[in-house]
Amino acid sequence: MRNGKWKARLDSQVPEDVSRTIDTLPEWFGIAEANAEYVEAARSKETWTVRDGGGTVRGVALVDYHFDRAADLFFIAVEREFRSSGIGAALVEAVAEHCRERGVRLFQVKTLGASHPDEGYAATRKFYEALDFIPLEETDLWGEQSPCLIMVRVL
Ligand SMILES: CC(C)(COP(=O)(O)OP(=O)(O)OC[C@H]1O[C@@H](n2cnc3c(N)ncnc32)[C@H](O)[C@@H]1OP(=O)(O)O)[C@@H](O)C(=O)NCCC(=O)NCCS
């Protein structure tokens, strides 16, 4: 895994960068209402970024804590041109390290499940699996058309 090239850090809120990043990834972010919710969430949630040498945000993760010992990767996206260069892994590992230091033991993410044929999300699931997230359950939390796969990583 090409980890180490990019440095992820805890950052201030970057809703404009979330909006710009989403716009480069229409295959994953095709529902306008959901996109507006992500941008709104970016105004308040814990924010991790990877910035390039010029300071431009190229990847963002938003994290929730519903309970003391569990974290939720609410949102993650890497700008299209920068995908598959280790930015996503840098974000997840930085959050995981931060969580471990705080006594957080479980890290969950929800994504589109394999019973939906979408190829983009098949790649997304491979990414999470490569980062040690284990498929836990597929639910209809998002309705029957959008099977929701809950994945969990033990920290
Ligand atoms: C999913 C996403 C955040 C991953 O970030 P990334 O920077 O592209 O991923 P990385 O380069 O850090 O990949 C880390 C590892 O994941 C795996 N991986 C990543 N993309 C993969 C793909 N398309 N197919 C198979 N495995 C993949 C690989 O094992 C990779 O390590 P390697 O390149 O050394 O083999 C990013 O591609 C993205 O924004 N995708 C679109 C939006 C999205 O799916 N968001 C999450 C919605 S739930």
pLDDT in tens, 87-118: 999 999 999 999 999 999 999 999 999 999 99
Confidence of residue 38 (pLDDT cuts 50, 70, 90): very high
What is the arithmetic mean of pLDDT over 70-89? 98
CATH architecture designation of domain 8-154? 3-Layer(aba) Sandwich (3.40)
Tell me how far the alpha carbon of residue 146 lies from the centroid of ligand 1, in angstroms. 20
Q: What is the pTM of this model?
A: 0.97
pLDDT value at 17 more than 60: yes
Contact indicator for 106, 75 with CB cutoff of 8 Å: no
| Protein residue closest via CA to atom 28 of ligand 1 | 127
Q: Is the CB of 1 under 6 A from ligand 1?
A: yes
Q: What percent of the chain has a predicted confidence (pLDDT) above 90?
A: 97
Task: Tell me the residue ranges of DSSP E strands in 4-147.
Answer: 8-11, 46-51, 57-67, 70-78, 106-112, 134-139
